Structure 1
Amino acid sequence: MQFDQEFDARGLSCPLPIVKTKKALNAMTSGQVLKVTTTDPGSVKDMEAFANQTGNPLVESGTAGGEYVFYLRKG
């Protein structure tokens, strides 16, 4: 998937991945896509809830090698 910016949240525990994702999205323009990579298993449900609550759609997500990857589109 194509993305405009990337945020590496590996090694961060809840709530830091969400807090820093929000900050990164705030600096982006509407329609741009942010790729977020985390190692926190709790981030799966957190990112879904964050996307629903903020209107920044979770376009795609997946796991690879113990890491969780999320693509959010700035609403």
Structure 2
Amino acid sequence: MTYDLKGLKCPLPVLKTRKRMAALPLGTRVVVETTDPMAVIDIPHFCQESGNKLISTETVESGHRFCIEKA
């Protein structure tokens, strides 16, 4: 499942990711795409804080892509 949050500014990407992840069953993987430069700090911090697993972080042409597994 890909969650396109491109164009949103801090703190919206992490807030929307938190809300989406809360509704998912354990083990679900979500790919979050964002153009917000603060997401490289906010998304890993959210994962650490919430216990979700950050599988990967990529810098892509349009911004950043994160793969998160619901824990």
The answer, yes or no, to whether TM exceeds 0.5 is yes
Give the distance between the partners of 2:66 and 2:32, measured in 1 at CA: 5
- AA matched with 2:6: R
Q: CA RMSD in A?
A: 0.8
Q: Percent identity?
A: 37
Structure 2: tracts of 5 or more residues without a match? none
Pair 1:56-2:48 in alignment: no
TM-score by length of 1: 0.90
Q: Displacement, 1:64?
A: 1.0
Q: How many residues align?
A: 71
Taking structure 2 as the reference length, the TM-score comes to 0.95
Q: Secondary structure at the match of 1:36?
A: strand
Shift >4 Å, 4+ stretches:
none
Structure 1 stretches of 5 or more lacking a match?
none
